[in-house]
Amino acid sequence: MTKETLIVSLKGENATDPVRALTEPRWVRWSLIGVGVLFVALFLVMPLVEVFGSALDKGLEYYLNAVTDPMALSAIKLTLISAFFSVVLNTVFGVASAWAITKFNFWGKNLLITLIDIPFSVSPVIAGLIYVLLFGLQGLWGKWFIDHNMHIIFAVPGIVLATIFVTFPFVSRELIPLMQEQGSDEEEAALVLGATGWQIFWKITLPNIQWGLLYGVILCNARAMGEFGAVSVVSGHIRGLTNTLPLHVEILYNEYNFTAAFAVASLLTFLAVVTLIAKALVGARYEKEKEVLPSSLESEPTL
């Protein structure tokens, strides 16, 4: 907007309408909103509709058969197992690392912070390859494990390991800024009042970080269930044994079984939508928790 038009819109015919005086012309507003809506519809809504549409292409019965197929059920089971281990282990690790990083000073702290970020900066395929190089038959420790009858690569443990690696930073990345902002005042207060380390953690620290923690867990879980690249490398694609849901979708698709592929994909999509809703709910609560409430009640008690 040029200087002249600004003056006109402030002094001119719009002067009586404060809202119009402070905003852009109608055609600018509508075209900007239109571009935004079109973009979201094209890239987010259409694929979503397409997934469910294609999944139900051959009717509900076909859909249910595809989803309850033993291979599909096995993939669901494996996805849940790897998500479970990733969430549990990364929650414990995330809380412990965030606690250490924000409440203590120690040598190598910056190195640890950098290390936590590695899974974000390394391609998941490379992450998978790292495990093949370590535990594969030709790998560094692979022979020892196989000699002791422990199969990691092309087996469930490999998939779980790869998933843990990829989802490693979610919880700690969520907690570190939160705990930094909160500082250690409450913990110090509890310590001086005579609380032990465990009491401080369970009664003070954990309640203060619970919403941030839940948020991190949801993100971690979503990524664990949807991970493809790293898992694909270590899985070996053995049907009914080492296929997770994303891998199962790929196999069905490669076999030109599009309807079944979309049916299974709709499960993942459904999980994603549920996660999004949970994330929105927790996020709203979390934001509310973070904001400092105004001390609205200045009234003194009447004695």
Partner 1 sequence: MSIEVRKLNKTFNGFKAVQDISLKLESGSLVALLGPSGSGKSTLLRMIAGLEIPDSGEILLTGREATFVSAKERNVGFVFQHYALFKHMTVYENIAFGLRVRNQSEAEIREKVHNLLSLIQLSGFEKRYPSQLSGGQRQRVAVARALAPSPEVLLLDEPFGALDAKVREELRDWILKLHEESKVTTLFVTHDQNEALEVASRILIMNHGKIEQDGTPIEIFDHPATHFIAQFVGETNYIDTEVTEKGLAVWGPFRFPINPSFTKGQKVRIYFRPHDVYVTEQFETLQVKAKIKKTRFKGTVIEYLLDIGEGKSIFAQVPKGVALASGFKDGLDVYAAITAFHVFPL
Which residues lie near partner 1 (CB under 8 A)? 185-186, 188-196, 199, 203-204, 207-208, 292-293, 295-298, 300-301, 303
| Nearer residue to partner 1 within complex by CB, 65 or 208 | 208
- We find the least distance from the C-beta atom of residue 87 to partner 1, in angstroms, to be 24
Q: Of 17 and 188, which CB lies nearer to partner 1 in the complex structure? A: 188
Give dist(CA 110, CA 116) in Å, integer. Answer: 10
Half-sphere exposure of 301 (CA within 13 A, CB side): 1
> Which CB, 2 or 295, lies closer to partner 1?
295
DSSP, collapsed to helix, strand or coil, labels residue 43 as: helix
CB of 183 to partner 1, least distance (A): 9
Q: How far is the CB of 191 from partner 1 (least distance, A)?
A: 5
Q: Which of 105, 117, 157 is nearest to 136 (CA)?
A: 157
Q: Are 245 and 188 in contact (CB under 8 A)?
A: no
Long-range pairs of 181-189 with CB within 8 A, sequence gap ≥ 24: 182/208, 182/209, 184/102, 184/103, 187/103
What is the token pair recorded at 217? Answer: 């867990």
Task: Compute the least distance from the CB of residue 279 to partner 1, in Å.
Answer: 22
* Closer by beta carbon to partner 1, 68 or else 196: 196
Cα–Cα separations (whole angstroms), residue 301 to 74, 78, 298:
64, 60, 10
Q: Specify the residue, 65 or 182, whose C-beta has the smaller distance to partner 1.
A: 182
Distance of closest approach, residue 199 Cβ to partner 1, in angstroms: 6
